[in-house]
């Protein structure tokens, strides 16, 4: 009887985790529920607090650095490799950061960016995103079915709306920072990549590149969403018409929608 190679086994493990959640989720969650100590990992239910959390931390079930609502064994402690899975990608960028840094000075500019990082991270994690990178003046996050659930595309859009609301783009006050957001979705490679010593739990592929390109066109207070992600909320925004963007690296223009900052109804 044919046997799977370790690579195939790891790929299957990744595929199931990214698409459905932790392997053996039904039985593992029941077992973990017996241990006291909320809050718990959203994927495998292991406790982070109390006596149960103390036991689990001792065997490696610590909160993930990329989403403290997940444990490290469901994210960066998985084996090297990954799998292709449908993913929603979000980039949020501070527009005109060079001018802003010159106007504020180094220390105040760093304070402003830290406020942006903290706000973005808090909101994105509340929607069960994986905060992939904080790069200069930019935040990248991805949403996958196994962690975020089946509504991962709409979750990305709602997270973008709430972020811009918190920054003042709902009209309640003067916006605190000039932030624009780009979102796209599609099949990405998600997993741990890198060398033997340093692995990075990340998403790679066309939707990542496309979301980054779309974000580059979004002005302060704008959320530009590619058609693949917009399909998840199309019935809620029947009056939002598409427009085209010609972006670097794409042969054909992209169909994009501009989503209002107001929250998705329902």
Return the C-alpha torsion angle 133, 95, 223, 247, nearest 10: -80
Q: Taking the CA atoms of 213, 217, 220 and 221 in sequence, report the sign of the dihedral they define.
A: negative
Domain spans of the chain? 6-76, 82-259
pLDDT in tens, 154-176: 999 999 999 999 999 988 788 88
Which element (helix H / strand E) includes 19? helix 6-20
Residue 125, classed as helix, strand or coil, is helix
Class of the CATH domain delimited by 82-259: alpha beta
Instruction: With 0.85 as the threshold, say if the pTM is over it.
Output: no
pLDDT in tens, 63-85: 777 777 677 777 666 777 888 99
């Amino acid at each position: 009887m044919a046997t799977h190679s370790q690579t195939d086994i790891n790929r299957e493990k990744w595929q199931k985790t990214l698409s459905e959640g932790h392997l053996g989720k039904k039985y593992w969650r029941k077992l973990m529920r017996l241990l006291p100590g909320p809050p718990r990992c959203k994927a495998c239910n292991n406790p982070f607090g109390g006596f149960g959390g103390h036991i689990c931390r001792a065997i490696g079930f610590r909160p993930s650095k990329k989403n403290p609502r997940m444990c490290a064994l469901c994210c960066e402690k998985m084996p090297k490799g990954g799998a292709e899975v449908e993913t929603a990608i979000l980039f949020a960028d501070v527009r005109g950061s060079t001018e802003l840094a010159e106007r504020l000075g180094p220390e105040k500019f760093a304070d402003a960016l830290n406020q942006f990082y903290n706000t973005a991270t808090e909101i994105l994690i509340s929607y069960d995103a994986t905060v992939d990178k904080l790069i200069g003046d930019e935040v990248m996050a991805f949403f996958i079915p196994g962690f975020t659930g089946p509504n991962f595309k709409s979750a990305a859009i709602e997270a973008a709306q709430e972020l811009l609301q918190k920054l003042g783009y709902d009209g309640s006050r003067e916006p605190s920072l000039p932030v624009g957001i780009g979102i796209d979705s599609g099949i990405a490679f998600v997993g741990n990549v890198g060398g033997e010593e340093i692995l990075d739990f990340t998403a790679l592929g066309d939707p990542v590149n496309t979301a980054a390109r779309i974000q580059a066109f979004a002005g302060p207070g704008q959320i530009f969403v590619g058609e693949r992600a917009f399909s998840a909320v199309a019935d809620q925004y029947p009056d939002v018409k598409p427009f085209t963007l010609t972006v670097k690296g794409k042969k054909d223009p992209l169909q994009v929608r501009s989503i209002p900052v107001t929250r998705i109804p329902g």
